[in-house]
C-alpha cells in the first residue's frame, strides 16, 4: 500500500476513525493490528514473517535484559532472516562464479522493509542492554517495529526516544495542518519530480550502449535527483503521518546536496541510517581497530552500508568508494577545509561534491559492474553535439537543486504553521488528491522498497 495511492488514503481515514473509537488501554494493540494489515496488503503470506520477527524481538529483548552477555548471539539471531532472504542468492552466485558451478538460486520476493525492520530490532536490543532499562511491553515493542508510517522504508527508529512516545499516541489535531502540508510536499516530490525522472533514467540504463554524452550526463544527474526526491518524499510523508498521531520521528534528510564534501553529505543523507552505522558499527569497530588505523573503521563501515543497500558487487564497490573518499577527506582535512569556505568558492566545492556523488551513484543504480562501466564510457566519450536531450527532465533537476536548501522537513513544518489553516488545509488536500490521481497515470513504487 503506497502512501500516494487512494487505497492508502482510504486506509488512513478508517485508521483515524477507529482510533477515535478505540479505548486507550487497547490503543497499541489496535495500532499494531492496523499496521500489520497495512503490511500484508502487499503480499499477505509475509505477514507471518513479520509476526515471527515481532514475537522474536520481544522474546530476545527480555533475554538480553536478564543476560546481557548474550547480546552478540542475540544480534546474530536477529540478522538471520535478513541474511537468508537478502544475501543467499548473492552468496550462491558468487560461489558459482568462483568455482564455475551452476548453483540453483532461490526464487522469492524480498520481504518489504526487512532491512529497516532488522536494524530497528537490533537498535532495540542494544539500547536495552546499554541503557539498562526494563524491557518494553509486548505491544510497545510491536508498535515500535510495525508502526505503519516507518515500517517499509524508515526512518530507522531508536527505542529510547520512540517507545516512550507511544504511551501518548493519539490523534494530534494541532499537528494535523502542518502534517498535511509536509505530506503534500512529499507527494509532490514523488509524483512530480522523482517518478518522471525515474522513467527517463530507466530508459537510459536499458539503452546504455547507445547514449550520447549529454544523455548519459542527464541520466546520471537525474538519478541523483530521483533517488533523493523519492526517498526524502517517503521520509517526509512518514514524519508527517507519525506527527498526526503525536509521535515525533527524526529528520532523515537535511539538504545533502548543499554540502561541500562526502563526509558532510553523509551527515545529512539518510541521517537515521548514518547515525545507526556510527553508533553500532563505526564506534565499536574504531574501539577495536584504532591500534591499526583509525581510518580503517570508516572504510569498513561504508562497506557495511553498501552491503545493507543491496546484495550485489555494485553496492560493495559503491560502499568502498565512499569509504575511501571519506577516509581521504578526513586524512587530508579536506572536509573541514571546504566546510569553512564562503561565497563562490563554497559553491564550487558544492558542485564538485555533487558531481562526485552522482558519478559514484552509477554503481548504485546499475544492475552490474559492466552496466556501470558502459554508463561511464557513454559519459566520457567525446560528444558529437552538445544537444539538450530532454528539456523537461533537465528542468525538474534544476528546480530541485535550486530550492534544495529549503527542502527540510523541520523547515516545512515550521513555515506551514505561519499559514492560515483555512487556506493550508484545503490546498494540501487538493495536492494530495491530485498527486494520487497522477500516481495512477504512471504508478511507481518507492525506490527504497527494494532494500
pLDDT digits (tens, 9 = 90+) for 320-345: 999 999 999 988 999 999 999 999 99
Question: What is the pTM assigned to this prediction?
Answer: 0.91
Q: Is the dihedral of CA 388, 392, 396, 399 positive or negative?
A: positive
Q: Is the dihedral of CA 141, 146, 151, 152 positive or negative?
A: positive
Residues 235 and 139 in one domain: no
Residues 162 and 182 in one domain: no
- Give phi and psi for 43, each to the nearest 5: -155, 95
Residues 241 and 353 in one domain: yes
Is residue 307 included in any domain, yes or no? no
Residues 181 and 69 in one domain: no
| 81/139 Cα distance (integer angstroms) | 22
Residues 421 and 381 in one domain: yes
Q: Is the pLDDT of residue 312 over 90?
A: no
Residues 6+ apart with CB under 8 A from 238: 3, 149, 150, 153, 154, 155, 249
Residues 197 and 74 in one domain: no
Q: How much is the pLDDT for 203?
A: 94
Is residue 123 included in any domain, yes or no? yes
Q: What is the mean pLDDT of residues 51-59?
A: 95
Grid cell at residue 81:
532472516
| 77/214 Cα distance (integer angstroms) | 48
Residues 163 and 185 in one domain: no
Is residue 324 included in any domain, yes or no? no
| 307/89 Cα distance (integer angstroms) | 14
Residues 76 and 112 in one domain: yes
Residues 163 and 237 in one domain: no
pLDDT confidence tier of residue 290, bands split at 50, 70 and 90 = low
User: What's the total number of domains in the chain?
Assistant: 2
Burial (CB count within 10 angstroms: exposed 0-12, middle 13-18, buried 19+), residue 2: buried
Residues 71 and 110 in one domain: yes
Grid cell at residue 120:
530497528
Is residue 411 included in any domain, yes or no? yes
Q: What is the CB neighbour count within 10 angstroms for residue 174?
A: 11
Residue 222, domain extent: 176-260+341-450
Q: Is the dihedral of CA 283, 289, 293, 296 positive or negative?
A: negative
Is residue 122 included in any domain, yes or no? yes
Instruction: Out of 139, 168, 197, pick the residue that ends a domain.
Output: 168
Residues 89 and 183 in one domain: no
Residues 139 and 202 in one domain: no
Instruction: Out of 168, 194, 220, pick the residue that ends a domain.
Output: 168
Average per-residue pLDDT for the chain:
89
Amino acid at each position: 500500500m503506497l502512501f500516494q495511492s487512494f487505497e492508502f488514503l482510504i486506509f488512513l481515514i478508517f485508521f483515524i476513525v477507529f482510533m477515535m473509537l478505540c479505548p486507550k488501554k487497547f490503543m497499541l494493540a489496535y495500532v499494531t493490528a492496523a499496521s500489520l494489515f497495512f503490511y500484508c496488503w502487499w503480499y499477505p503470506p509475509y505477514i507471518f514473517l513479520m509476526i515471527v520477527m515481532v514475537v522474536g524481538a520481544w522474546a530476545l529483548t527480555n533475554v538480553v535484559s536478564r543476560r546481557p552477555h548474550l547480546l552478540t548471539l542475540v544480534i546474530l539471531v536477529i540478522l538471520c532472516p535478513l541474511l537468508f532472504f537478502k544475501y543467499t542468492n548473492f552468496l550462491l552466485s558468487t560461489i558459482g562464479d568462483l568455482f564455475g558451478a551452476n548453483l540453483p538460486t532461490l526464487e522469492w520476493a524480498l520481504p518489504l522493509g526487512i532491512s529497516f525492520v532488522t536494524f530497528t530490532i537490533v537498535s532495540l536490543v542494544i539500547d536495552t542492554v546499554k541503557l539498562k532499562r526494563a524491557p518494553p511491553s509486548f505491544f510497545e515493542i510491536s508498535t515500535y517495529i510495525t508502526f505503519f508510517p516507518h515500517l517499509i522504508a524508515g526512518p530507522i527508529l531508536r527505542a529510547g526516544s520512540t517507545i516512550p512516545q507511544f504511551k501518548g499516541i493519539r490523534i494530534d489535531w494541532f499537528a494535523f495542518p502542518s502534517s498535511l502540508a509536509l505530506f503534500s510536499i512529499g507527494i509532490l516530490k514523488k509524483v512530480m519530480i522523482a517518478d518522471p525522472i525515474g522513467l527517463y533514467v530507466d530508459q537510459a540504463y536499458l539503452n546504455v550502449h547507445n547514449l550520447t554524452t549529454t544523455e548519459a550526463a542527464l541520466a546520471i544527474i537525474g538519478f541523483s535527483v530521483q533517488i533523493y526526491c523519492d526517498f526524502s518524499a517517503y521520509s517526509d510523508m512518514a514524519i508527517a503521518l507519525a506527527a498526526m498521531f503525536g509521535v515525533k520521528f527524526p529528520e532523515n534528510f537535511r539538504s545533502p546536496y548543499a554540502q561541500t564534501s562526502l563526509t558532510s553529505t553523509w551527515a545529512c543523507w539518510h541521517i537515521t541510517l548514518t547515525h545507526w552505522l556510527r553508533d553500532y558499527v563505526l564506534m565499536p569497530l574504531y574501539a577495536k581497530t584504532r591500534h591499526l588505523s583509525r581510518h580503517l573503521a570508516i572504510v569498513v563501515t561504508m562497506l557495511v552500508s553498501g552491503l545493507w543497500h543491496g546484495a550485489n558487487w555494485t553496492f560493495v564497490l559503491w560502499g568502498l568508494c565512499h569509504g575511501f573518499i571519506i577516509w581521504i577527506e578526513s586524512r587530508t582535512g579536506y572536509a573541514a577545509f571546504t566546510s569553512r569556505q564562503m561565497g563562490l568558492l563554497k559553491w564550487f566545492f558544492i558542485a564538485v561534491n555533487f558531481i562526485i556523488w552522482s558519478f559514484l551513484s552509477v554503481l548504485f543504480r546499475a544492475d552490474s559492474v559492466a552496466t556501470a562501466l558502459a554508463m561511464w564510457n557513454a559519459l566520457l566519450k567525446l560528444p558529437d553535439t552538445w544537444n539538450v536531450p530532454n528539456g523537461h527532465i533537465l528542468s525538474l533537476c534544476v528546480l530541485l537543486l535550486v530550492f534544495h536548501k529549503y527542502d527540510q522537513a523541520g523547515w516545512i513544518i515550521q513555515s506551514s504553521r505561519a499559514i492560515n489553516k483555512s487556506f493550508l488545509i484545503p490546498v494540501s488536500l487538493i495536492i494530495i488528491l491530485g498527486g494520487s490521481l497522477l500516481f495512477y497515470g504512471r504508478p511507481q513504487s518507492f525506490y527504497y522498497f527494494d532494500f
